[in-house]
Every structure is written in structure tokens, then in C-alpha cells.
Amino acid sequence: MAKLYFYYASMNAGKSTNLLQADFNYRERGMATMLFTAGVDDRFEHGTITSRIGLSESAIAFDAGTDLAACVADRVAREAIACVLVDEAQFLSAAQVDQLAHICDVLGIPVLAYGLRTDFQGALFPGSARLLAIADSLVEIKSVCVCGRKATMNLRVDAEGRAVGQGAQTAIGGNDLYVALCRRHFTEALGGARVAG
């Protein structure tokens, strides 16, 4: 039985690097894959999964209206697919996560989804919440806080490096906008504000 995997972590933990390595492993063995990434992520070239260490690969950019199961079924009608890989999975809708489950359960193709668990306020993203609820396997990719503890939170900062506690759930950025911290340092940075969730 094909499985739905959710690989989650804080910012800068190597999620995209892990995804690209998994994709390479399949392709090196002559197996076709399908890659998806969030169209809203404009840090790099549109429709490209790019890691901080310089690896990149073309992908299908999804938005709220993309039917992932239909995209995969269309491709499967033309050629066998060994694996579907999804970057920035936190931006999936709950319905799209259900489509990923359909790809596993009906089409028999494993799906590896990579993304953030929580936003800058400590709240779950809709896609992550649904993945945590229905994925067959949950795998945490570890990152490190400035204190050496495991980083689990994503602190949003302004141009001067000050903590930002309010705003839209989605603000696309990298090290210029987010710092991965342990819960203790995240809470301290927000001035003792209660962590959502």
C-alpha cells in the first residue's frame, strides 16, 4: 500500500534539500516522479524547488484551485509515476491534502509532502493540520535554535531584527524574515506572549 508522508520542520531545517535528494534517488534508478511546489513562494524562480545549498528542480506550481489528484491521474495515463513529492505543503488546502491521500489510496503512488508545521504565531497552517491528521507517517526534520536546543518555532522579524507578533499568516521570506527558535526563545522574543495552538 502506498503511503502519505509528512516531513515537517521549522524554517531552514533542510526540507527542500531532503525532498530534492529523495527525488534524485528515484530518478537515478530510472523511476519517474512528479514535483509540486506552492505558486505563492516567490523567493526563487516560479515553479522551481530550490534549496539553500544550491540544489533546484522544476516543479508544478500549485495554488488553491489546483486539483493535484487530477494532475497526477493525467500524467499516469501517459506514463508510470513512482512517487509524488510536494514542497511547501503548509500552503495546501485541506481538500488538496485529501487529494494526496487519494493519490496514495486509489492510484497507488506514494506521496512525500514537506512543509512547515506552524506559522510565526505558533498556529498550524491548514495544510499542515490536515497532514498531521491523516498522513500515514509523520517525520520531523530537526533544526537547531541559537541555544542548541531543537528549533520548533518560526519567529518572524522586521528589517531591524525585532520580533513580529501580528500580521497575515503568510509572508514569503527566508533568513531575512524568519528565525527558527526553540519554544522558550520564541516565547521570550515575543515578550512572553502566549504561543497559539
Binding residues for Zn(2+): 145, 147, 182, 185
Own/partner long-range contacts of 46-54 (Cβ < 8 Å, ≥24 apart): 49/16, 49/19, 49/20, 49/87, 50/16, 51/14, 51/16, 51/17, 51/20, 52/12, 52/14, 52/16, 52/17, 52/174, 53/17
Could you list the residues known to form a binding site for substrate, using ranges.
178
Q: Which of 39, 60, 41 is nearest to 51 (CA)?
A: 41
Decide: 19 and 49 in contact? Cβ < 8 Å: yes
**Binding site residues for ATP, as ranges?**
9-16, 87-90
DSSP code at position 106: T
Q: Which residues are annotated as a binding site?
A: 9-16, 87-90, 145, 147, 178, 182, 185
The set of catalytic residues is 88
